[in-house]
Structure 1
Amino acid sequence: MASLKSVLSLGVCLSAWIITIAAQNSLPQAQNVHWVSLDFKTILTWTTEGSDLTYTVLYSWDKTDWLESADCIQMLDTECDLTHNLQPYDRTYTADIQTEHEMPESDYPLEELSHVYSPQFNPYKESNISAANFTVEKVNKSTVIISITDPLTSIHERGKQLSIREILKSDLHYKIIYYKSGSTGKREVTSDSSKVEVSQLDPGQSYCFMVAAYIPSRPKTTQHGAWSRQRCTPGSNDTLQEWSLGAWVGVVFILITVFIITVTVTILCCKCCRQRNKTLQTTQSSAPI
């Protein structure tokens, strides 16, 4: 009798386990899991083919215990803002997306939920950096100062919104590309400062500038931020000083040609007038009195 009860108990447990596994396998898993991060605002996104599902997101770093994101517990959305969870920034994080029915019939143990793990992500090394604003100030005929405004992040500390420099500190550099207007040749300057002096420019020429954040300590794929829109300086108003020898030769040739044509036309007009006057005088003298 005891053995029969044992067999029945084993059968019940086995049936429950099979039902649990079947329920787990019937849950659509999160797909296309990836990180979207700009200026250290970091969002985990995914897609799903199911409906009436909720998601809970946990995160961990360096194989530590999993922590729940307080804003991403049993939610219906398919994205989770982990910006304020991924600190310190220079750590490698992994997220776990747990899927369950919106109205579960029972509480499944954690290990029996549908799990999908994200790729690893390090905000400090992988967050994209947006384009910086900058101004160009002329110092003299051959030198300008580029003043760059560090992009702001979504991070606030003590009521202050932090810039990327306050996070990246000495790792932040800027690259400046500039070229003479109308020319294809480009020059490049790298600086660890937000104020950069660019010298040895040709006086009177118009130059165009573009800047981008540059973090050489990062992997090559994420070293550069987005490039800014270009800003161009005006050329000199004294265009006569900028003319080449060929231009001057052309101008002189045109002036000489115009002079010759003018003189020729004037001479011809004078001859015509004299001829006309002479004809009139001859006609008048031959007329009967």
Structure 2
Amino acid sequence: MESVKTLFYMGICLSAWIITAADNLEPQVENVRWVSLDFKTVLTWTSKASDYAYTVLYSSDNNDWTESPDCIQVSESECDLSEQLIPYDRTYTADIRLDDDVRDYEGDPDVFPHTLSPPFNPFKQTNISAAEFTVEAVETKVTVNITDPLTGIHQRGKQLSIRDVFKNDLKYKISYHKSGSTGKRDIITDSSLAEVSGLDAGESYCFMVAAYIPSRARAAQLGAWSEQQCTDGHKNVLQELSLGAWVGAVFILLTVLIIIITVTVLCCRCCQQRNKSLQTSQSSAPV
């Protein structure tokens, strides 16, 4: 009986200790993720802490940690690392450290709680936005002129395009179909200027383009698809007639032809009868 009471009291004490320890736990950073579009890369997170600031460190390929100069003792729950993640084709990991405003940080990374981000490679994982382009039709060919999307990276006063970063890894997928048809065709071009040939003269064709990086994993190869653009068709009146219109036109022509033939035959018969009557009357008249 005494042993049961002892276990009971021990259980109560252990529960109280667990509750007290949970209340004293430091708030943790959660939901850490990378948001990246055209190499503008922002690290975001959530935390229930209200009196804490955040310092973000980053490391590439497990090298030494470096503090992000724009994200030291910040109150926001995000950090723009676009300019720090260079070279682009490396795997980076970020460390978000909670810094208590009421205590001094003495340089020991274990003093404050910190949370690691998932690994991220800008070259292989940044999303690519939709490209703008123009189309120009000449006879049976259409020239597609694509403008490379700009990135969030500036170097030497110049804003880099995705071609500046991907270089020969960047290609474009062009999807097109005849206006009014559901059958689509795709071509891959290495250049931002492509020519689509073998089209039907005078027909209207619709085009869409997307950046294509075949060196990436399949799920990340395609950028966003552009808006659709169509060429102007130049059909003559006969080409624009549908099957029903052709049937109606043929029917009308046949009807008119039948009427003309019928009227002609009737007129001929009337003339023949009139001539016979005239001849009969002339032959029966007295000399």
The TM-score with structure 2 as length reference comes to 0.78
Q: Which moved more, 1:31-40 or 1:229-238?
A: 229-238
Q: Would you say how many aligned residue pairs link Structure 1 and Structure 2?
A: 242
Partner of 2:88: 89
Partner of 1:100: 99
Aligned equivalents of 1:242, 1:114: Cα separation in 2:
72
Partner of 2:122: 123
Checking the alignment, whether the CA contact within 8 Å between 1:27 and 1:99 is kept in structure 2 is no
Aligned counterparts, 1:153-232, within 5 A: 153-232=151-230
SS in 1 for 2:248: helix
Aligned equivalents of 1:25, 1:223: Cα separation in 2:
47
Partner of 1:35: 34
SS in 2 for 1:252: helix
SS in 2 for 1:29: coil
Checking the alignment, whether the CA contact within 8 Å between 2:28 and 2:115 is kept in structure 1 is yes
Give the letter for the 1:27 counterpart.
E
Partner of 1:75: 74
Alignment gaps of 5+ in structure 2: 1-20, 263-287
Checking the alignment, whether the CA contact within 8 Å between 1:24 and 1:113 is kept in structure 2 is no
Determine what percentage of the aligned residue pairs are the same residue: 62
Give the letter for the 1:175 counterpart.
K
Deviation at 1:25, TM superposition (A): 6.0
Checking the alignment, whether the CA contact within 8 Å between 2:203 and 2:235 is kept in structure 1 is no
Give the letter for the 1:56 counterpart.
T
Deviation at 1:103, TM superposition (A): 2.5
Aligned equivalents of 2:124, 2:105: Cα separation in 1:
41
Checking the alignment, whether the CA contact within 8 Å between 2:58 and 2:65 is kept in structure 1 is yes
| Distance change in 2, residues 1:150/1:138 (3 Å) | same
The TM-score with structure 1 as length reference comes to 0.77
Deviation at 1:100, TM superposition (A): 2.4
Give the letter for the 1:229 counterpart.
E
Deviation at 1:229, TM superposition (A): 0.2
Partner of 2:272: none
Aligned equivalents of 2:237, 2:53: Cα separation in 1:
69
Q: Which moved more, 1:145-154 or 1:245-254?
A: 245-254
Checking the alignment, whether the CA contact within 8 Å between 1:52 and 1:101 is kept in structure 2 is yes
| Distance change in 2, residues 1:143/1:25 (3 Å) | farther
Deviation at 1:155, TM superposition (A): 1.1
Q: CA RMSD in A?
A: 2.5
| Distance change in 2, residues 1:106/1:218 (3 Å) | closer
Deviations 1:26-66 (A, max 9, x none): 32111110000000000000111221211000000111110
Checking the alignment, whether the CA contact within 8 Å between 1:24 and 1:112 is kept in structure 2 is no
Deviation at 1:246, TM superposition (A): 6.0
Checking the alignment, whether the CA contact within 8 Å between 1:24 and 1:114 is kept in structure 2 is no
Deviation at 1:104, TM superposition (A): 2.3
Deviation at 1:236, TM superposition (A): 1.4
Alignment gaps of 5+ in structure 1: 1-21, 265-289
Give the letter for the 1:74 counterpart.
Q
